[in-house]
């Protein structure tokens, strides 16, 4: 449940200490978690995380090129993992097949294979297939928590479990650690905590609420089995697929507007448009609502370079 060698939160208790604490410590933790379950309230110190910025790539001076990792109290992580175990059976039933991120028996390999197959079929049958590679601004940090709780209730997750997960997020606070200095704590009212094992599952639920509305309204590309393929995703790495430029524009517009409802904001500069094709196209961008998405001839999706001409590596 708890991995060794991970940095602890403000309690400075390493997971190894809890694992070797013996029966007495485990018994006390069990009593505490039972009290939390009954009272639906977590200890005040568990609400505080230490936020450490981690550089991703590109310009080191741009804030958007960093992601925050939250160092959480190890005792809180035990509770979070318990909730994850309890919610996983519902996740398996709720999340659509389009999503491979953090899903058992699904992986990046599946999603890359789908995109590569589309590229090969486009080349084989001389058919244009437009794609949109979606990028969100601080996706985890922007989720509207109240909307998420409503979504979870509407999707049939037990009310008690929703209330407990909500209690973990209630009045959460953070401190920022940078250059050896730690800031005063400040309130965190939106988003999911990076570093919390429960967050990927919650994010998948949030995305599911958006994609369901997209699938109802949008047109995908027709497959051999008469089904439509509209979306391929690995967590927030989303690809939209359509038969035509206009269909893709409509699908993207729906995704943008439905995503706003739960707090998601598109990153215009990092969202890219591609046309899988054997032909040359004199198109530099695709306009969707108030956005202009740059057309690219290649894009690195989940670590694999996808090219318009069906080559990938």
**DSSP symbols for 234-273:** ETTEEEEE-SSHHHHHHHHHHHHHHHHHTT--B-TTT-EE
Q: Residue 218: in which H helix or E strand, if any?
A: none
Q: Residue 310: in which H helix or E strand, if any?
A: none
What predicted TM-score, i.e. pTM, was given to this entire model?
Answer: 0.91
Residue 2 belongs to a domain: no
Task: Tell me: do 37 and 87 sit in the same domain.
Answer: yes
Q: How many domains does the chain have?
A: 2
Task: Tell me: do 177 and 79 sit in the same domain.
Answer: yes
Structure confidence by residue, pLDDT tens digits, 188-231: 999 998 889 999 999 999 999 999 999 999 999 988 777 899 99
> So what's the pLDDT on residue 60?
78
Residue 121 belongs to a domain: yes
Q: Rounded mean pLDDT of 267-275?
A: 96
Q: Rounded mean pLDDT of 53-80?
A: 83
Residue at which a domain ends, from 154, 171, 202: 202
> So what's the pLDDT on residue 1?
64
Domain holding 153, by residue range, is 15-94+141-202
Residue at which a domain ends, from 202, 222, 246: 202
Residue at which a domain ends, from 202, 229, 252: 202
Measured distance CA(182)–CA(103) in Å, rounded: 35
Task: Tell me: do 150 and 240 sit in the same domain.
Answer: no
Task: Tell me: do 171 and 81 sit in the same domain.
Answer: yes
Task: Tell me: do 296 and 152 sit in the same domain.
Answer: no
Output 59 or 47, whichever has higher pLDDT: 47
Nearest Cα neighbor of 252 from 281, 285, 216, 214 is 214
Contact 262, 142 (CB under 8 A): no
Task: Tell me: do 266 and 152 sit in the same domain.
Answer: no
Measured distance CA(25)–CA(15) in Å, rounded: 13
Q: Quick one: 87 exposed, middle or buried, by C-beta within 10 A (0-12, 13-18, 19+)?
A: buried
Could you tell me where the DSSP H helices lie in the chain? 15-19, 22-39, 74-94, 108-124, 139-142, 145-154, 159-169, 199-217, 245-261
> So what's the pLDDT on residue 233?
96
> So what's the pLDDT on residue 101?
93
> So what's the pLDDT on residue 310?
63
Q: Rounded mean pLDDT of 283-306?
A: 95
Cα-based distances in Å from 1 to 47, 91, 196, 285: 20, 18, 12, 46
Residue 245 belongs to a domain: yes
Residue 288 belongs to a domain: yes
**pLDDT range class, residue 8, cuts 50, 70, 90:** confident
> So what's the pLDDT on residue 105?
82
Residue 269 has pLDDT above 70, yes or no: yes
Residue 22 belongs to a domain: yes
| Average pLDDT, rounded, for the chain | 91
> So what's the pLDDT on residue 309?
79
Residue 35 belongs to a domain: yes
> So what's the pLDDT on residue 195?
83
The CATH number that applies at residue 244 is 3.30.70
Measured distance CA(196)–CA(69) in Å, rounded: 9
For 261, residues 6+ apart whose C-beta sits below 8 A from its C-beta are 144, 147, 210
Task: Tell me: do 87 and 219 sit in the same domain.
Answer: no
Torsion of CA 82, 8, 169, 194, to 10 degrees: -100
**pLDDT range class, residue 185, cuts 50, 70, 90:** very high
Task: Tell me: do 197 and 291 sit in the same domain.
Answer: no
Task: Tell me: do 222 and 265 sit in the same domain.
Answer: yes
Measured distance CA(153)–CA(159) in Å, rounded: 6
For 257, residues 6+ apart whose C-beta sits below 8 A from its C-beta are none
Residue 230 belongs to a domain: yes
Residue 104 has pLDDT above 90, yes or no: no
Residue 8 belongs to a domain: no
Look at strands 129-134 and 237-241 and give their pairing.
antiparallel
> So what's the pLDDT on residue 312?
52
Task: Tell me: do 292 and 173 sit in the same domain.
Answer: no
Residue 168 has pLDDT above 70, yes or no: yes
Task: Tell me: do 84 and 123 sit in the same domain.
Answer: no
Task: Tell me: do 124 and 224 sit in the same domain.
Answer: yes
């Amino acid at each position: 449940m708890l991995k060794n060698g991970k940095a602890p939160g403000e309690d400075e208790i390493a997971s190894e200490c809890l694992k070797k604490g013996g029966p007495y410590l485990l018994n006390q933790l069990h009593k505490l978690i039972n009290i939390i379950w009954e009272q639906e309230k977590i200890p005040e110190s568990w609400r505080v995380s230490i936020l450490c910025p981690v550089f991703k790539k590109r310009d080191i001076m741009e804030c958007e090129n960093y992601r925050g990792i939250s160092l959480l109290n190890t005792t809180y992580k035990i509770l979070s993992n318990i909730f994850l175990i309890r919610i996983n059976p519902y996740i398996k039933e709720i999340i659509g097949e389009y999503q491979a991120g953090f899903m058992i028996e699904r992986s990046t390999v599946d999603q890359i294979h789908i995109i590569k197959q589309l590229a090969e079929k486009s080349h084989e049958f001389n058919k244009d297939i437009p794609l949109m590679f979606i990028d969100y601004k601080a996706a985890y940090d922007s989720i509207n928590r109240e909307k998420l709780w409503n979504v979870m209730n509407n999707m049939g997750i037990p009310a008690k479990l929703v209330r407990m997960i909500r209690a973990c997020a209630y009045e959460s606070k953070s401190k920022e650690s940078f250059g050896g200095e730690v800031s005063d704590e400040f309130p965190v009212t939106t988003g999911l905590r990076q570093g919390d094992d429960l967050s990927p599952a919650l994010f998948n639920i949030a995305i599911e609420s958006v994609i369901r509305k997209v699938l109802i309204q949008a047109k995908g590309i027709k497959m051999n089995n008469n089904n439509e393929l509209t979306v391929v995703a690995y967590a927030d790495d989303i690809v939209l697929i359509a038969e035509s430029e206009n269909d893709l524009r409509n699908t993207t517009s729906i995704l943008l507007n439905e995503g706003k409802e739960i707090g998601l904001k598109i990153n215009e500069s990092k969202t890219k448009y591609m046309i899988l094709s054997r032909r040359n196209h004199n198109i530099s961008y695709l306009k969707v609502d108030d956005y202009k998405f740059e057309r690219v001839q290649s894009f690195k999706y989940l670590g694999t370079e996808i090219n318009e001409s069906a080559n990938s590596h």
